[in-house]
Every structure is written in structure tokens, then in C-alpha cells.
Structure 1
């Protein structure tokens, strides 16, 4: 292995190689997922993975392969700002990540943005009901030391009406000395495809909310229940992670905070898809077969 792996690149490589070298092979009799040719898609996995990315580690976007920066942010805008479950919105923006899981109404049922958009949190003193995103923004402003500034997509009353149960399912926003940490819970992580995409998404969301709430960026804490690699991904991952990394220091440019008259934009107006990533270099595209 080359020794120029640092920050998230090193974290990612260490997790992946640990799964390849020491992971448990899934019981073949319990394999649910299949490749497009109908073959069973078994995994190697480890349970209970935790890592953290500190501000000094930089933007957690892989250099060992290209992570498409626009598609993850379009998807997260759809969930966190549009508060939507309608896949038509994504398709109109050429984002195809949910095409395999739509129902006959072209939605994903009562999942993701639907859950965040529910008016479910009471603000008694104002006789208000806020959705989950409005609530965390309100609490970060009014009660930043709370240990209850959380979102959850795992609503047991609605799970049967979701086309796919949420993978990244919970966030916990913690403030100490005006520094905002973000804790993310992920029940299941496809390490070749979905996980790098998810970490980049939530790192950008973390930065936007910290900036919007006039807080300093803190640490991103990430917990995975089941981190896995599909069998057909193993050799490609070994190749991807055997190459030295290009030298770069990616930076992001957030959407404007104020309009031309000095009025502050709302969080929902500062579109995640407008975030720009600069000075990003990578080792090119690696294609991984999707298992469903």
C-alpha cells in the first residue's frame, strides 16, 4: 500500500481492507440481493463500525475514485430541503439513484423526505408544530446545548409503506462552545457504492447547517451497523485502493447567506445542489455492479 492515504481516504481504505481480510462471509442460504443477471449477490461484512472525520481532515470525498459531487447533493436537497418522496423531482434533474425503488405512483412511499417533512414537533410557547428539519434549526438557535436535537427516518408506523427502509436513518446535532458536531447512524453500508456518496452528502449538510446557524464546524461522527462489500466488488476495490492518490486539497463554496438587501436566506433557500466543490482530483471512475 502507498503511504499517502490520509484523512477519510485512509479511514475508508482501513475499513474496506478489514472487511476483505477479516470480514464474515454471508450465509449463502440467507442471500436476498441479486445482480441483474439473477445471480445471488453475497457479501463479506463486519458489524459495529465507528469513525470520525475532524475539520482538519478536510472534505471527506475519496481521491481513490471519482465521487460524483452533484448527484449526492441533488438527492440530499430532495430529502432535506424539498422534503419530498416524489422521484419525478429527481428524474427531472437527471438523478437516477431511486429509479429502482419507485412504486406505481413514482414515489418511494412514506420514506426519507416524507418523514422529515412531517409536522411532528411541538413548540408550546408559540403554539407551533414544526417538521424535523425546522425543529433542529429552531433548537440550534434557541436551545443549542440540548442533547435532543435529532432527526429519525425510522418510523415504525410507516415502515411497511416505504419502498426501501432508510439506510442512513438518524442524525444527532450536538453543540459545545459554539462548535457543531454531527452524529450519523447508518444501519447498512455498501462500501463500494453507497457509503462514499453518503459521507460526502452529510459532510456538506453539516457545513451548511453550521454556517447557517453561525456555528463553527466540528467533528462528523459516523456509526455503521453492517458495513459490507459485495463479492463482485472485492477485486475492483483492491485495485482502486492499491494506487497512490493525487495531491489536492478540495474546498467547498456554500450558497450565499444573504440576499443583495442583506436579508438572510432560509436554510431551504440555500440549495444543497448549489454547493460548489473546487480543487478535487481523483483516480478516475471505477464501475461497480449494483445488487438489489
Structure 2
């Protein structure tokens, strides 16, 4: 019997299609992209499978640390920097440079974030990004004479866990980061914005919809992180992992990533990495980075490419 196609081939085909057939357009960053609208991919997570790209090395621990940070509701890069996670630094760094005119490099900026709590408070905050919306969505209630006061925040993740456990056939097993009232205050509006879950046959599946996906850099983190979150939720709800269904609105490749596209498409996927979770914490909010282990991951070397801010 022929071996099943490697899960990564569908990603490589999409990368090729976007680069070869995508609409070339100017974008917010000024870099320019090639873009296709509405692609979907499916990844089966049975037998501990994880959709880790193998045609380049993915820093999966960085992605896992980011996901754990989201679940705390934190919106300041200080804790990420403390863990040597740099993926969010470019946005507050760019804001600082524009506001002050100081030509500070990333290392020096991060050193000040760590050393100076007041500086971190003023310059390290990203606004009400992902974690804030996931676990502390603001609510308001009437306070008389047309006034409103802040009510109890909504923890969408805690509510989701409870709903999966108690009402697994619900069509409302979802959460979102797209809070229209607070978009302008965010360093970057949510790209991976809505997650919907489905229980069938004792398996928990997720559909992630992204309004925007950078296929060269962002997708590898987005897919792994969604699968990681699914695994944590499945464990907490006594279910087996099902499928990750990934869908995007604008799926694009930046024009300055041609070297990445050429190099990655010249490589063949290899191996099928798997994840084990070493313990079951008391809640979805109590996982630690050392709880996760990836085995059988032997990727091709990493490919460096610039981030468009």
C-alpha cells in the first residue's frame, strides 16, 4: 500500500500557488505581497501528530511560549523578552523609534524593557491584543443618566472549556479576538482571529480562521499553536485530538521572501513529528513549557527572512 501523502505537501502547494498565481498588491507595510483569497487545509492530529513544518526548522518552543502568554491575558512584551521570545518586539520598538527619534537597536530596547519597569509599562505594552480579548473581554453596564461602568470581564477560554464539557454538540464552541471597539488600540489587530471547535466520536477538532496569513513566516507558528491549544483543550475535556482545519482570508507571501519560497520549495518534507503532554494540569491556564515534548522532529535548516511591521 502506498504511503499517505505527507501533510506538509498541501502547505508547499499553497506556497507555490500564491507565489506563482497570487495577485501582486501593495500592502500596509509598504513591502508588497502576492495574495490569494480563501484557501483551506486540513491536518489530522491522531496518534500525537503535529503540523510542524519540516522543510525549515520551526522554533516550536517560541510558539508554545507565546500561546501560554496569550492564556495569561498579558499584553506587555516584558515577560516574553524575559523568556528570550522576540517575535512581538518589533512593534513597540518601531513605535518607540518613531516617537523619540532614537536609533536604538532591538537588543538595547529589550534590555531597557527588562531593567526598567516604568519603561516597560510605557513602551512595552501592545494594547488589548490576543490574550486580553481571550481571557478578559471588557463588558459595560448602565450606571444611570446615560453613563456606563465597567462590568466583570468575560473569560472566553474558561467559558469554552465549560461549554465543551457540558454541551459538546453546541454550535457555539468558539472564541474570537476581533473586538471591533478596541482594534485601534492594538499594535496589530488579530490575524488568527476566530477559533471554532467541534466534538464528534470522542474527538475534539478546531477550525481556525485567519483574516490574514503571512505564509512565509507566520503560518508555521499559527498552525502549530492552534494544534497545541487543541491538544490542551482536548486533554482538559477528556477528549482525543481530532482535526485542525485551517482557513485564511488573505493568504500572502511578501515580495522580499522570494529566497524563502525558492529554498523551501526545493526541499522535501521528512519525518512526522509528534507531541506528548507530560502531565495534566489542574486547568487550561496552568500548563508550563516543560509540559510539552516534541519527538521525531528532524527538519531542514531554518530560513531567515525579514518581518514586515
Distance in 2 separating the partners of 1:129 and 1:191? 34
**Aligned-residue RMSD, C-alpha:** 2.2
* 2:245 is the alignment partner of 1:254: no
Q: Structure 1-normalised TM-score?
A: 0.85
SS of 2:7's equivalent in the other structure is helix
Distance in 1 separating the partners of 2:4 and 2:17? 15
Aligned equivalent of 2:149: none
Write the deviation string for residues 26-55 of structure 1: whole angstroms up to 9, x where unpaired: 1xxx4431xxxxxx4111110111111113
Instruction: Select which of 141, 158, 164 maps to 2:188.
Output: 164
What 5-or-longer segments of structure 2 have no aligned partner?
Answer: 96-121, 140-151
Distance in 2 separating the partners of 1:51 and 1:254? 25
Instruction: Select which of 132, 153, 159 maps to 1:114.
Output: 132
Aligned equivalent of 2:113: none
The farther-off stretch of 195-204 and 101-110 is: 101-110
* 2:300 is the alignment partner of 1:277: no
Aligned equivalent of 1:133: 157
Aligned equivalent of 2:36: 46
Count of residue pairs the alignment pairs up:
267
Aligned equivalent of 1:125: none
Q: Is the contact between residue 171 and residue 183 of structure 1 (CA under 8 Å) also seen in structure 2? A: yes
Alignment of 1:1-292 (within 5 A): 6-26=5-25, 30-33=26-29, 40-56=30-46, 58-80=49-71, 82-102=72-92, 104-118=122-136, 130-246=154-270, 248-257=271-280, 265-271=282-288, 274-292=291-309
SS of 2:211's equivalent in the other structure is strand
Write the deviation string for residues 42-77 of structure 1: whole angstroms up to 9, x where unpaired: 111101111111135931001100001110000010
Distance in 2 separating the partners of 1:289 and 1:61? 21
SS of 1:52's equivalent in the other structure is strand
Return the offset for 1:21: 1.5
Write the deviation string for residues 97-154 of structure 1: whole angstroms up to 9, x where unpaired: 1111236341110111111122669xxxxxx975101000010111111110111100
SS of 2:13's equivalent in the other structure is helix
Q: Structure 2-normalised TM-score?
A: 0.81
Q: Is the contact between residue 66 and residue 284 of structure 1 (CA under 8 Å) also seen in structure 2? A: yes
Distance in 2 separating the partners of 1:270 and 1:31? 37
Distance in 2 separating the partners of 1:8 and 1:115? 31
